[in-house]
Amino acid sequence: MTPEAKQTIQLALVVAMVVAGVRTGYVLYQRHEDAVAARKQKLAQEVGYSNPDYYVTPKKLYPYDLKTAKQLTQQPVWVKEGYRYTYYGYDAARKRMDFEHEAGLLLPIEKLAIKDVVIAKPPGAGQRPQMMAVFEKNGKSCAVPIGFEAEGEYRVYSDEMFFVEDPHELYKHWPANVWDAVARHEVKPGMNELQADFAVGMGVPDAGDISYEKTVRYPNGGKPLVVVYHAGKAAEIRSGLPGS
């Protein structure tokens, strides 16, 4: 074996070790963050926090590459924040993504069956390859970005996008009237912010609000709402349209 070949093999081994180290570090970091959250929940129980939502720990998959991201195909998923994530049409036969036309936004607590996870590159110079979760909606194949390539690694954020357990079971302590409002995509007085997110999707808080009183504006799929929370509960609900 020539010295050049030996040097090439050694370099490849070093690169592989670095990649493996980065991936391991990422997984350990994520699990550390979950351990911190679990300790906070234990402390909440010890000091007597009254909101049962604090004790819910949704399962995470910790994907870091294409293979681990395909875990999403093994069970249904539910969208955590509706009206936040844009999806696109996908030609499964040709494995081609239609990045030039937005097909819609994922809905609040929408249940999806992920069929596949693929890599696709948007058109245009300098665009990063995107990791896309493929699903069917209204009889058509679609895909939503769940990560991107950066410096030779994939940053996968599907754990922030999806529940991989039924949220109706995770939050089964919520009363039936709350779940009825969520199903109708309505915010009712007395609902907390998480329940409102489940009902009408992503909200944007006003800057400078105090902890006791908080105003959150919800795009709500083109039917904007403004919700004012007092002590964590919806106290005022009004249209977010100009002049309303």
The string of pLDDT tens digits covering residues 99-116 is 999 999 999 999 999 999
User: What DSSP state is assigned to residue 127?
Assistant: P
Contact in structure between 232 and 193 (CB atoms under 8 Å): yes
Domain check: are 103 and 135 in the same one? yes
- Pair 101, 27 in one domain: no
Q: Which domain holds residue 218?
A: 171-239
One domain for residues 94 and 148: yes
CATH number of the domain that residue 229 is part of: 3.30.1450
Three-state SS for 151? coil
**Structural domain count of the chain:** 3
Tens-digit pLDDT profile for residues 150-179: 888 999 999 999 999 999 999 999 999 999
Residue 3's pLDDT is: 56
Mean pLDDT value across residues 192-199: 97
Q: Look at residue 130 and tell me if it is in a domain.
A: yes
Could you tell me the pLDDT band of residue 210, with boundaries at 50, 70 and 90?
A: confident
User: What percentage of the chain has pLDDT greater than the value 90?
Assistant: 69
Answer yes or no: is pLDDT of 28 > 70. no
Confidence category of residue 31, pLDDT binned at 50, 70, 90: low
Q: Is residue 60 part of a domain?
A: no
Beta strands in the chain (DSSP E): 77-79, 86-91, 96-105, 111-112, 116-120, 130-137, 140-150, 153-156, 162-163, 204-205, 213-218, 225-230, 233-239
Q: Domain containing 146 — which CATH number?
A: 2.30.30
Give domain status of residue 244, yes or no: no
Residue 90 and residue 143 in contact, taking contact as beta carbons nearer than 8 Å = yes
> Could you tell me the pLDDT band of residue 10, with boundaries at 50, 70 and 90?
low
